[in-house]
Amino acid sequence: MIKIKVGIVGGAGYTGGELLRILVNHPNVDIAYVHSNSNAGNLISDVHTDLLGDTELQFTNQLSQDIDVLFLCVGHGDARKFLEANKFDAHIKIIDLSQDFRLKAKSTIDGRQFTYGLPELNKEQIKSASNIANPGCFATCLQLAVLPLAKAGLLKADVHISATTGSTGAGQKPGPTSHFSWRNNNLSVYKAFEHQHLNEIGESLLQLQNNFSADINFIPYRGAFPRGIIASVYTECDLSLEEAEELYATYYADAAFTHLSKANIDLKQVVNTNKCLLHLEKHGNKLMILSITDNLLKGASGQAVQNMNLMFGLDEKAGLRLKASFF
């Protein structure tokens, strides 16, 4: 059985914790080290207490070249700085969970070219890639809602999106809008029409439909729950509901984790999984697409492992057969 030596940088945060939760049970992975300057010497289970009994690994402030793949779970802007300060052998694959290398204009550093890691868009490129820029959480959920339309050249009108994300999307560092007393029993809009993930969404849509020029009107909401994203997307479309469902079913026929539901969907169906579920409805000349994901898994760490599986020729679902926390 193939064994992949893994290094993790920034392992103390939410994405690092979720990555560890997956990888300590991944049949093809040996975790070589988990880097954290602030937690060096501490047991991983002292920081990620959900892993008590699962691993005796400790955090370290040392880096090693004796790995096959490096996961970067650092903050936005810090991944590029880290790679500028720390050089890794060319044979070591890198999967970055920050936004530093997602856009084509910023996708290279020191000769390393990063491939945009959305498997439902770039699966074949990911299989042969050495470096992956893992997509953003909102970007993943929203792109999966509209990629089939773009592939068919059917995005001709403005795309309207309302989407709500859990508090873990803001990261582990406490802030005014993630404080329990403020977030609980509350709902708020932020970065309306200006969310940073719109840039990577736009690049992906142009990749499939090079004449796409309509507006993407995106209103993000902060939800009063820890994890998950639910998005409602609508645009003008001449297809009947049956034709749209056939289009989506065909596009996602070989997708390991993206599935179309005839029935309406709710967030609990995907929390704690690497799935994206989609539901279509037709209202007059408008097609509505509901899309749901777990922002920490399909929106971050789960998708990063899915990309690793593809890069190393493993079963795409290895380590990711996770049941939703439904009850």
206, 140 Cβ separation under 8 angstroms: no
218, 165 Cβ separation under 8 angstroms: no
271: CB partners within 8 A, 6+ apart: 227, 228, 294, 324, 325
Nearest Cα to Cα of residue 311 among 148, 96, 95, 129: 129
- Compute the radius of gyration of the chain from its Cα atoms: 19
In three-state secondary structure terms, 250 is: helix
126, 115 Cβ separation under 8 angstroms: yes
> Is 141 assigned a catalytic role?
no
232, 279 Cβ separation under 8 angstroms: no
- Catalytic residue from among 137, 141, 237, 276: 137
Calpha distance 200→98 (Å, rounded): 13
Calpha distance 141→297 (Å, rounded): 11
100, 106 Cβ separation under 8 angstroms: yes
Q: Is the dihedral of CA 6, 29, 120, 193 positive or negative?
A: negative
229, 270 Cβ separation under 8 angstroms: no
User: Which positions are catalytic?
Assistant: 137
